Amino acid sequence: VAHWFGVPLGPGALAAGFAAAAITTMGAVGLPGTVSFVSSIAPIAIAMGVPVVPLGLLVAVETIPDIFRTLGNVAMNIAATRAISLRAGDQDPGLSETDELLRGSA
């Protein structure tokens, strides 16, 4: 976006963008999709002095990379959960107490 509008990004603008990204990442919503795209990117663009108007156009393009980011996040969450489960000695968890209760009520 900065290149489109001819906005030069010096070291100060890049540092401001990095700081804004670090702060907004900590407070960003963990929702997939374009729900949080503009609200996450706009503060960074403002801190760097880049216009926020074209961010609405980027929402249409953001859908495809977002699918792969979400897939990666979900796959890593599953892998981490399984690794922790194996380390805790939960080789074959069988039915949980909740599963047993649900099975008994059916």
Q: Is residue 4 part of a domain?
A: no
pTM: 0.56
3 lies in a domain?
no
Q: What is the mean pLDDT of residues 89-98?
A: 67
Which whole number is the average pLDDT over 12-18? 92
Residue 55 lies in a domain: yes
- Identify whether 66 is part of a domain: yes
Torsion of CA 64, 65, 66, 68, to 10 degrees: 100
For residue 2, being part of any structural domain is answered with no
Establish if 35 belongs to a structural domain: yes
Q: Which of 73, 44, 77, 70 is nearest to 58 (CA)?
A: 44
Q: What is the spatial distance between Cα 33 and Cα 95, in angstroms, rounded to a whole number?
A: 34
Give the residue numbers spanning the domain of 95.
11-105
Q: Which residue has the higher pLDDT, 90 or 79?
A: 79
At 81, which amino acid appears?
A: T
- The total domain count for the chain is 1
